[in-house]
Amino acid sequence: MLNEEDFKKQISTAIRKLRYEKKYSIEKLAELSETDYSSVNLIANGKQSPRSYTLYKIFHALGYNLLKDLNPKNQTRQDLEDNLLSSIAHLNEKELQDLIVFLKNFTLKQR
């Protein structure tokens, strides 16, 4: 089991990695997670242990479902749709255009 300092370090490393992949600033992550900037900043820098729901909101904003491994067989269609919509909402303009082209091609093949 991790001690609290190691936990904070691993959480901050994971947040930083996902944040860099998404090219999100701390400000953007705070906005998307509906969490105040100072809390996100402290958590992302390993200075504060997050409350569980705050941690959930931050990772959800980063497109990562913390709960998926706890009960993957009980994901509802709504959960899947919510995850998909969250992922789409975080796409940049180029990624969004590529998705639209893919979906148009996909639907044409299905006819």
Interval 77-108: pLDDT, tens = 777 787 788 888 888 999 889 989 998 888 87
CB 58 within 8 A of CB 15: yes
51 and 1 co-located in one domain: yes
Give exposure, 62-101, as e/b (b: 16+ Cβ within 10 Å).
Answer: bbebeeeeeeeeeeeeeeeeebeebeeebeeeeeeeeeee
Query: Is the same domain home to 61 and 79?
Result: no
Instruction: Note whether 43 and 88 are same-domain residues.
Output: no
55 and 87 together in one domain? no
Query: Do residues 10 and 24 share a domain?
Result: yes
Total tally of structural domains belonging to the chain? 2
What's the pTM?
A: 0.63
